[in-house]
Amino acid sequence: MKSRRPAGSRPGPPRLALVIGSGGVRSIAAAGVAQVLQAAGLRPDLIVGCSSGALFGAAIATGAGSDETLRAATAFWRPELTEQRRWRAYLQMLLPRLAGFDADFSLRDDRLIAGTVHTAFGDLRLEELQTPLRVAATDAASGEPVVLSRGPVAEAVRASMALPFLFPPVNVDGRRLVDGVVSDPLPVSAACDAQVVVALGFAGAMPRRIDRPSRLFAQASTALTNNLMRARLDAARAAGQRVLNLELTLTRHVGLWQTDALPYLFDAGVRLAQSRLPEIAALVDAAGARGRAVPRERADPSVAAGRAEPAEAAPTEPAAFRALPLRALHELPHVSR
């Protein structure tokens, strides 16, 4: 594992970006894709992540190996993280004025998640990662997409995973940010300056039957998310981005918190990348042969917010970055509810 971001002259546009969408535990397949690309000499020089894709994308961006990433994912992705109920929340729903219902409402307490993410990444900053990482979130007040490329990794990942109603927004430089899936579940536009984009999106499965309110809500929200993802992909291609979308095919059902399926999902990512490797290589070769320059007006993938900044704003003389590998989450003590 390399310990520092490669130093050198001012970098040009990313050659190959790996964009990881929101997909729950399925997002770990991106680690298998990244392993295949690196072995083929096509190591992504930019990673973009949304929601769970931001979490696993951050692990990949540290340079963690596949075994370490799987151990960390197994320790982090556990059901009890979402089972820390806020009993006051029920009172706030019944008596909103008396109980103080406000924009920071949540059904769950996110302190366990916050502690776990901080233990994983410590004080590591996005600009210190071995591979540049852009994290997609959503401005809670305006609904606009936000891309974070500077600042604490743990804070950015928490914001990207803060699903409204379930978890409270995360304050980043005075802005309340929530889950990136609300505005862009597969943020290919955040890599608009890359010559080639490999996108790993995850369409949600529609409920087979509607026999309770939660499934009716799931039907509507899943349809909205799937349609938004397809629309974003179509828009990126229409804008001239070279995007290769990888669709993960599974031979069995995998639950949202099914950590024992992580190795299976990782291997599925490996097989998927191997099957599409000739296409990826051809796209990268074609982009290099044409020497396509990215127009300056398209080189800013970020919505101006918080610590988000244009990719072209890299310093002329890059500073040395310290070595901060992903911490071993499997050594975390169990936190009881």
Query: Helices then strands (H, E): number in the chain?
Result: 9, 8
Average pLDDT score over the chain:
83
Instruction: pLDDT band for 323, please (50, 70, 90 cuts).
Output: very low
The pLDDT of residue 78: 74
Q: Give CA angle at 331 (158, 321), nearest 5°.
A: 60
Compute CA 121 distance to the chain's CA centroid, rounded to the nearest angstrom.
15
pLDDT digits (tens, 9 = 90+) for 253-312: 898 778 889 999 999 999 999 999 999 999 999 988 665 444 434 444 443 334 444 333
The pLDDT of residue 155: 97
* CA distance readout (Å), 109 to 57, 156, 301, 308: 24, 18, 32, 27
Cβ atoms of 329 and 76 closer than 8 Å: yes
Q: Is the model's pLDDT at 166 over the cut of 80? A: yes
The whole-angstrom separation of Cα 211 and Cα 204 is: 19
Q: Is the model's pLDDT at 177 over the cut of 50? A: yes
The pLDDT of residue 70: 85
| CA-closest candidate to residue 283, choices 236, 243, 245 | 243
Mean pLDDT of 40-57: 96
**102 flagged as catalytic:** no
The whole-angstrom separation of Cα 288 and Cα 292 is: 7
Burial class (CB in 10 A: 0-12, 13-18, 19+), 271: middle
Compute CA 13 distance to the chain's CA centroid, rounded to the nearest angstrom.
20
**51 flagged as catalytic:** yes
pLDDT digits (tens, 9 = 90+) for 129-162: 999 999 999 999 999 999 999 999 999 999 999 9
The pLDDT of residue 298: 41
The whole-angstrom separation of Cα 238 and Cα 249 is: 26
The pLDDT of residue 270: 97
User: 245 forms bridges with which residues in the sheet?
Assistant: 199
Q: Is the model's pLDDT at 77 over the cut of 80? A: no
User: 179 forms bridges with which residues in the sheet?
Assistant: 137
| CA-closest candidate to residue 179, choices 276, 113, 246, 241 | 113
The pLDDT of residue 152: 97
The pLDDT of residue 64: 86
pLDDT digits (tens, 9 = 90+) for 19-33: 999 999 999 999 999
- Angle formed by the axes of helices 111-121 and 52-61, nearest 10°: 20
Mean pLDDT of 189-195: 96
pLDDT digits (tens, 9 = 90+) for 200-242: 999 988 888 999 888 999 899 999 999 999 999 999 999 999 9
The pLDDT of residue 132: 97
Mean pLDDT of 95-104: 91
Catalytic residue among 110, 179, 184, 193: 179
Compute CA 108 distance to the chain's CA centroid, rounded to the nearest angstrom.
21
Q: Is the model's pLDDT at 327 over the cut of 50? A: no
Cβ atoms of 180 and 137 closer than 8 Å: yes
Question: How many percent of the chain have pLDDT more than 70?
Answer: 82
Residue with structure tokens 């299976």? 264
The whole-angstrom separation of Cα 129 and Cα 3 is: 9
What are the phi and psi torsion angles at 148 (to 5°)? -100, 125
Catalytic residue among 51, 183, 189, 302: 51
Q: Is 248 helix (H, G, I), strand (E, B) or coil?
A: coil
